[in-house]
Amino acid sequence: MTQTDKDRVLIFDTTLRDGEQSPGATMTHEEKLEIAGLLDEMGVDIIEAGFPIASEGDFNAVSAIAKQAQNAVICGLSRANYKDIDRCWEAVKHAKRPRIHTFIGTSPLHRAIPNLTKEEMAERIHDCVTHARNLCDNVQWSSMDATRTEWDFLKRTIDIAIKAGATTINIPDTVGYTAPVESADLIRRLIAEVDGADEVVFATHCHNDLGMATANSLAAVAGGARQIECTINGLGERAGNTALEEVVMAMKVRHDIMPWHTGVDTTKIMNVSRRVATVSGFQVQYNKAIVGKNAFAHESGIHQDGMLKNAETFEIMRPEDVGLSETNIVMGKHSGRAALRSKLKNLGYDLADNQLNDVFVRFKALADRKKEVFDDDLVALMRDSAVEAVNDRLQVKFLRVICGTEAPQSADLTMNVDGADHQVTATGDGPVDATFKAIKKIFPHEVNLQLFQVHAVTEGTDAQATVSVRLEEDGRIATGQAADTDTVVASAKAYVTALNRLLVRREKSAPGADVKGVSYKDVG
Ligand code: KIV
Ligand code: ZN
């Protein structure tokens, strides 16, 4: 089958905007730049880099990403008002290819929030899109909650946006309410009935509340949409957004019935997925399509036997198509620096000599405790190395816990705070509780522990545990992750990492930095 431009589907990645809205998924400035760089390299067409008016931090991240991007269009989000749009333009204008994205909720429920009549809203859309178009020749309009908007009014909003100069029309399923047949029909009907539909690109933006985001996005493409909005690992508020890796691989693997193509280099998927999981603190579920740990694992005897005879027996795509190295060469304590460098390179980490030295020391320490070091162990190790960089105020130096069948358990902890070592003993209900109490004794603080999660990185009793901790203080949220063969040590390090991040955030949130009344929550 020949591919024409009409079959090209644009990939709009919103990991850094809709994905980052997910409570607890907040990323640092450097992390956002790194993820944007990876997305650009992998061939994503449009990167929605943030919501510039939301905070100084968002503005700075969007403008830095705009300056850095080589190929992708860099887009910022703005509500439908001039102040938001101007701020968005200030941030994206540095990009080689900038885009302003502006939106308003058009469904009855969403119209009630700003308390606008249909007439008033129609006028607002006309004015805002015109204003955005006067600043930038690439403007995306979204009728938020489109799938619950009355047909006549939805069509009217799109008509107005196109006439005012929008170049992309996005039809969001903001609350994950639609279903595939309806999703395809809606786009098909809009394209057939709206004046000027041929002049613009129709986009689909689906949330996964009913688990249908991928199906709904692909159905929208069948209906004529040529831009899919999605996130890596399906990150996003509530049940998340459409997962980039799922729609891209679906079109590739089932090209026979979905004859569309994207510009994404699929062999980069695994690395980006790992990095997003690490920096967002949102682990990928084991059985997640494409990027889950078990997506290419064949456990049962029948499956393994079939796989050995012919991989296609149970595999519809090859692991290397998504960037999983075919050979999982296991590393151990005899592996040298060169082997570690090449292994890490395969896993997507290109290290400078000094970084490699540091990681090599940690690798040797791990290999001494663990007979075999698997790919996942190395990814966990790299995550810890990155985490160390922010451990500037608090560091765990020594931890010994006494546990047994009789409560209470106790923890001896030495922690370095701002350069000075402090030692305490604390008791608690279990070793982790005792350890967290010891941290609090050394560094008193009042935060809410929102999440405490333990995952075994690999199999076996010597497996490392990855612990994720999420802390909240006055609406600020920070996550920490750490891995160790000792679960309690990993817990202490993860907690301290989250605490360090929270302290950084507390220091950075200068009064007035957050624009009043602007909340990510407003935008679904
Ligand atoms: O879900 C949604 O409607 C959004 C819009 C801002 C596009 O994220
Ligand atoms: Zn959304």
Q: How far apart are alpha carbons 171 and 203 in whole angstroms?
A: 6
Domain total for the chain? 4
User: What tokens were used for 22?
Assistant: 């997910």
Looking at the fold, whether 223 and 75 belong to one and the same domain comes out as: yes
**Residue 188 is part of which domain span?**
5-280
Position 377 confidence tier, pLDDT thresholds 50, 70, 90: confident
Mean pLDDT (whole number) for 96-118:
96
User: How many A from CA of 23 to the centre of ligand 2?
Assistant: 14
Looking at the fold, whether 237 and 352 belong to one and the same domain comes out as: no
Type of residue found at 505 = R
User: How many A from CA of 129 to the centre of ligand 2?
Assistant: 19
Of all atoms in ligand 1, which is nearest to the CA of residue 18?
A: 8
Looking at the fold, whether 319 and 205 belong to one and the same domain comes out as: no
**CATH classification of the domain holding 102:** 3.20.20.70
Residue from 142, 171, 229 to probe ligand 1 pocket by mutation (most atoms less than 8 Å from CB):
142
pTM score over 0.75: yes
Residue 520 has pLDDT above 60, yes or no: no
Q: In this structure, which residue's CA is closest to atom 2 in ligand 1?
A: 174
Does 177 reside within a domain?
A: yes
Mean pLDDT (whole number) for 116-139:
97
Of 220, 246, 280, which residue is a domain's last? 280
Contact 364, 373 (CB under 8 A): no
User: How many A from CA of 486 to the centre of ligand 2?
Assistant: 39
Structure confidence at residue 362 (pLDDT): 86
Looking at the fold, whether 179 and 274 belong to one and the same domain comes out as: yes
Q: How far apart are alpha carbons 21 and 521 in whole angstroms?
A: 8
Q: How far apart are alpha carbons 429 and 138 in whole angstroms?
A: 58
Structure confidence at residue 514 (pLDDT): 30
Q: In this structure, which residue's CA is closest to atom 6 in ligand 1?
A: 523
Q: How far apart are alpha carbons 26 and 205 in whole angstroms?
A: 21
The ligand 1 site (C-beta within 6 Å) comprises 18, 103, 142, 144, 170, 172, 174, 205, 207, 523-524
User: What tokens were used for 18?
Assistant: 């809709």
Q: By C-alpha distance, which of 129, 25, 16 is closest to 74?
A: 16
Mean pLDDT (whole number) for 372-383:
81
Instruction: Give tens-digit pLDDT for 174-215.
Output: 999 999 999 999 999 999 999 999 999 999 999 999 999 999
Structure confidence at residue 291 (pLDDT): 96
Does 384 reside within a domain?
A: no
Looking at the fold, whether 109 and 148 belong to one and the same domain comes out as: yes
